[in-house]
């Protein structure tokens, strides 16, 4: 593949967009959305945390779990609106199959 100006190799006319050193990827099963001061939209993504539960003699009796906040992002109102629109479009595509 040809080397594109300002990026790694990609298809003709394309470049790979690099991530930052602090980029994170998480699997979330829930989200909480609130609005803070100056209309900053706060999104907290939740992840499940499971623990084994046992008796004092060491016998395992099951699992216990809960959802815990894992990632919090702060979005200006205008960015939150674009995210809402992008999510609506992607959900529409999935539902239309």
Per residue in 56-74, pLDDT tens?
999 999 999 999 999 999 9
Residue in 73, 71, 75 with CA at minimum distance from that of residue 39: 75
Helices (H) and strands (E) counted in the chain, each on its own, are 1, 3
Q: Say what the pLDDT of residue 4 is.
A: 43
90 token code pair: 């992607």
72 token code pair: 């919090």
Q: Say what the pLDDT of residue 9 is.
A: 63
| pTM reported for the whole predicted model | 0.69
Residues of the chain where predicted confidence (pLDDT) is lower than 50: 1-6
Domain ranges of the chain: 30-96
Strand order in the sheet with 30-35: 30-35, 41-54, 60-75
Q: Say what the pLDDT of residue 2 is.
A: 45
């Amino acid at each position: 593949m040809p080397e594109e100006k300002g990026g790694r190799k990609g298809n003709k006319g394309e470049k790979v967009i690099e991530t930052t050193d602090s980029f994170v990827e998480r699997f979330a099963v829930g989200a909480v959305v609130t609005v803070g001061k100056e209309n900053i939209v706060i999104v907290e993504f939740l992840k499940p945390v499971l623990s084994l539960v046992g008796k004092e003699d060491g016998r395992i009796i099951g699992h216990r779990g809960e959802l815990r906040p894992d990632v919090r992002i702060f979005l200006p109102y205008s960015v939150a609106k674009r995210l809402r629109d992008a999510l609506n479009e992607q959900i529409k595509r999935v539902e239309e199959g």
